[in-house]
Structure 1
Amino acid sequence: MATPIDPTSTAFLLAENRSMPMHVGGLQLFKKPEGAGRGYLREMYEAMLDVDDVAPLFLKHPHRSVRTGAQLVWKPDEQFDIEYHVRHSALPKPGRIRELFDLLGRLHGQRLAWERPLWEAHLIEGLRDGRVAMYTKTHHALVDGVSAMRLLASVLSTDPDERDMPPPWGVHPTRRAPSRAEKAALSEVPLAALRGAMGITAEAAGMPSALVKTIRKGLRNETSALSLHAPRTIFNQDITGSRRFAADDWPVERLRAIGKATGTTINDVVMAMCSGAMRTYLLELGALPDRPLVAMVPVGLNAKQSQIASAEGGNAVGAVMVQMATDLDDPARRLGAIHRSMKDGKEALSSMTPVQILAMSAIGQAPAILTPILKMQGIVRPPYNLIISNVPGPRTTHYWNGAQLLGTYPLSIPINGMALNITCTSYDGNMAFGLTGCRRTVPHLQRLLTYLDDELSALERAAGL
């Protein structure tokens, strides 16, 4: 049975082209259980194929025809082939992380076919240290980053001895089905937001004061929930479909200690690490603009609906625009400026309802989303320079059928005008940074990992640690 696709997901589908695959991805690294034999990887792969029931989220694909009035709808795949979606791969020697990142860059640059459900999973062996890698990608029309992380967590266990656990696409016997009211609440959020952005709901009547205040800040180049000033950088140009990926993680305790010493948050420290790394990177290329870079930081709208999003998919996000203070050469001053910008953005959102937040975000992101749809690259100024997300993950060690999850690293979506995406994920005491960029537009992407590490040390020194 066909079901309508909400406006937010429709926008992700229509914005997609060969240069802009619109899927999010994830890399998970596992340690084999004690006593695992040489055939363990094959057994793990076969267990991922052996699924009695596939969750509905992983069975639907977009479809439109005369019968649907040319409107996009979700349609179940009546010829579902799990072996197409779940694949077994191996790295070439010497099996370093470098070879793994090269493979992920190639896989992440390939579009998902609309005639099939919009996801893939690749189980990858050949790392010389014995770890097992799994790369998954799912179209952003199906899930956002928070939903993807919660979906993964829902099939993991804190018990290393637990077995018979389904993969993320399997129906988990203990997963609670959302009620009819909850489904309606979640599905109505994007539609209500679209109406709110157009000013045709009663709730939009509460918009003017918040809108005027926010636009006034934008005109003064004081970013909060809306950015009207962003300098052009090497990231703000057309991109190709090829991707490069790099990732690493750092102890959350190091970030927390800096925040405690400076009166800032862990997220402020994450942003400051990115700011310092971007400053060093652009200075090295002779491409640092005089004015500070602006980052778009997605925020979830309704914590009460988060468990529903994990099972049902969807995209319920707003955004804060943050000045990155890349024009300042002192790490402490950069952190302070970012803290104030983040605080302004949060205060702006706190005065709005979820519908108004989505409406404001739609206004702020319209140039980024509509520009590729309307083919207006180079005409519309970039509303921001890069996207930085922070997605919380499990706080303790987790396992999948005895295999210990050692780390999880996100891959996200560069778009025309925004060639670099930085997404962070916390897991088991570490903060992982996943950097996804256009292979041609963002040279030497892996150097950013070194600069992130350097900036963390600089922030520690500035905080007196």
Structure 2
Amino acid sequence: MRRLSPLDALFLQRDAPESPRHIASLVLLQPGERPLDYDTLLQLISERLDLVPRYRQVPRPVPGALGLPVWVDDEDFDVSLHVRRSALPRPGTMQALHDLVGRLIARRLDHDRALWELYLIEGLEGGLTALLFKAHQALVDGSHTVDLAQVLLEDSADVRELPHQEWAPRGTPSAVSLALASIRDQVVHPGTILSNSAFRAERLLSRIPMPRPDPARIGALDAPLSRHRRFATASASLDDLRRVRDEHGGTVNDVLLAAIAGALRGWLLTRAEPVSASTSFRAMVPMSVRLKGAEDDSLPTSLGSRVRGHLLSLPVGETNAVVRLHQVSYALKAHRETGDAVAAQTLADLPGFATSTFHAVGARVAENEASRGYQLVVTNVPGPQEPVFMGGQQLHQVYPAIPLTGRRPLAIGITTYQGRAYFGIVADREAVPDVDVLAQCVDEAVEELVETTSPRRRAPRGRKRPEKGGAR
């Protein structure tokens, strides 16, 4: 029986209809020799859950809030309640998929069941199959539990056979035993008293109704959250991003963030929002770092200990795309020169690496630093550049979906995989009804940067150069 960390307990406490605290990931699979059907997926998940036992557990509160909640086995666990099947109406367009994903990520997870869901979405045009993973922020911490997608990834279309044994839940401890265990922990470890006090204070504050803001003062990225979400995607060629990097300096990450700044600028202009030379948005950008004393870039078991929140001012008011890039690159230069930055290729080459786990850790870090007053979260995780597989099907595209919290109606996640950067854009349905316009502005901002490179660096349109390594 393991107790939740103070941060995980706060994630559960802050989970609300307007701000469900789960991380999501949309994966598109190419059709293989044998389509991935629901029964096959259900069997595969059942076998892999042995590797992530917490996916069969639920958080149980301690009576009287005498201590932090504990993880206990779900005596009524039924995998079919978590692995669900859905389909798109013909012709199964990406827009229809975006609409469905927006509805699914808006739904809170049931706290009386294990805190995850997986949707098999069929009927997508081109014969593609989609998988939507949802896992609560209290569940995936990168240390004791990784994202379910991580244990499903394979290096080939051959599905590994893993040893499997029938699972039987351990009995749920009684309320009295939970209370006594909490009291004993506080006697043995007095430091837990502070954590428990903070948790109880958070519970009390969450019951106080917050005043509704003046609608006249609501900015483009400052608005109360509704119970509904929109989702949109964009993508860019890594070759294009590298050409911009080679022409103007910096890193591919700098180019991506400069493109987001340009996209926000274009989006604001389509809304007739005021944009001046000083207009900027504060973005929380979780970044991987090397621990002091580490001899190499190999990551320890706890991914959370290797991610730090970096506050970046996106120069939205700057009219020149190259100057925007230089400003972003200069702002991040200090992080690189400290020697703490971890190379993107190192992350992409991690054995069994799933980008969704790092996005989950990044979102946790961002939420833990909400007091720093940022306006949106941008996570960027480099993935493998060689094909990977799930359930015998080759992974074709992958889009992260970062949760919305506070008064921040927009979040952007980026995953690089097999020669492309995939943007997953989550927005509040009421505050940002035109999220598809923002996605289009991302495409245009990347193109604007590519057009600043010399002709000899540009690849002919319609041709794709082979990938060599990950984004840097």
TM-score, normalised to structure 1's length? 0.73
Identity of aligned pairs, percent?
Answer: 29
Where in structure 2 are the equivalents of 1:279-358 lying within 5 Å? 279-290=265-276, 291-301=279-289, 306=299, 308-309=301-302, 317-345=307-335, 350=340
Residue 393 of structure 1 corresponds to 383
Residue 224 of structure 2 corresponds to 238
In 2, are the aligned partners of 1:33 and 1:403 still within 8 Å (CA)? yes
- Of 40, 43, 47 in structure 2, the residue corresponding to residue 44 of structure 1 is 40
- Of 110, 133, 137 in structure 1, the residue corresponding to residue 134 of structure 2 is 137
Tell which deviates more after alignment, 88-97 or 67-76: 67-76
Is the counterpart of residue 249 in structure 1 residue 235 in structure 2? yes
In 2, are the aligned partners of 1:153 and 1:393 still within 8 Å (CA)? no
Which 5+ residue runs of structure 1 have no aligned equivalent? 171-190, 199-230, 352-360, 370-381
Is the counterpart of residue 80 in structure 1 residue 82 in structure 2? no
In 2, are the aligned partners of 1:95 and 1:128 still within 8 Å (CA)? yes
Where in structure 2 are the equivalents of 1:199-210 lying within 5 Å? none
In 1, are the aligned partners of 2:135 and 2:147 still within 8 Å (CA)? no
SS of 1:17 mapped into structure 2: coil
CA distance in 2, matches of 1:147, 1:449: 35
- Of 122, 126, 148 in structure 2, the residue corresponding to residue 125 of structure 1 is 122
Q: CA-to-partner distance for each residue in 1:373-395, whole Å, 9 max, x for gaps?
A: xxxxxxxxx81221111012222
TM superposition shift of 1:400: 2.3
Where in structure 2 are the equivalents of 1:1-400 lying within 5 Å? 1=1, 3-34=2-33, 36=34, 40-48=36-44, 50-51=46-47, 54=50, 55-66=52-63, 69-143=66-140, 152-162=149-159, 164=161, 233-290=219-276, 291-301=279-289, 306=299, 308-309=301-302, 317-345=307-335, 350=340, 368=370, 383-400=373-390
Cα 1:240/1:251, change in 2 over 3 Å: same
Q: CA-to-partner distance for each residue in 1:58-103, whole Å, 9 max, x for gaps?
A: 1222221327615222222122111111111111222111111111
In 1, are the aligned partners of 2:284 and 2:311 still within 8 Å (CA)? yes
SS of 1:462 mapped into structure 2: coil
CA distance in 2, matches of 1:292, 1:146: 35
Q: What is the identity, as a one-letter code, of the residue corresponding to 2:40?
A: M
Tell which deviates more after alignment, 394-403 or 327-336: 394-403
TM superposition shift of 1:249: 2.0
Aligned residues: 380
TM superposition shift of 1:261: 1.2
SS of 1:333 mapped into structure 2: helix
Q: What is the identity, as a one-letter code, of the residue corresponding to 1:308?
A: T
TM superposition shift of 1:233: 3.0
Q: What is the identity, as a one-letter code, of the residue corresponding to 2:137?
A: H
CA distance in 2, matches of 1:436, 1:315: 26
CA distance in 2, matches of 1:242, 1:441: 10
SS of 1:27 mapped into structure 2: strand
TM superposition shift of 1:348: 7.5
CA distance in 2, matches of 1:364, 1:246: 21
Residue 181 of structure 2 corresponds to none
CA distance in 2, matches of 1:87, 1:412: 21
Residue 346 of structure 2 corresponds to none
Q: What is the identity, as a one-letter code, of the residue corresponding to 2:96?
A: E
TM superposition shift of 1:445: 0.2
SS of 1:234 mapped into structure 2: coil
Q: CA-to-partner distance for each residue in 1:142-167, whole Å, 9 max, x for gaps?
A: 22589998753443222224454799
Cα 1:363/1:432, change in 2 over 3 Å: closer
SS of 1:83 mapped into structure 2: helix
* RMSD over aligned Cα atoms: 3.4
Cα 1:346/1:72, change in 2 over 3 Å: farther
CA distance in 2, matches of 1:70, 1:458: 54
In 2, are the aligned partners of 1:30 and 1:132 still within 8 Å (CA)? yes
Tell which deviates more after alignment, 328-337 or 41-50: 41-50
In 1, are the aligned partners of 2:58 and 2:111 still within 8 Å (CA)? yes
TM-score, normalised to structure 2's length? 0.72
Which 5+ residue runs of structure 2 have no aligned equivalent? 168-190, 199-216, 292-296, 342-362, 458-472
- Of 388, 393, 396 in structure 2, the residue corresponding to residue 403 of structure 1 is 393
Structure 1 segments of 4+ aligned residues over 6 angstroms from their partners? 145-150, 361-367
Q: CA-to-partner distance for each residue in 1:21-66, whole Å, 9 max, x for gaps?
A: 01000111111212x36xx524433433543753212122222132
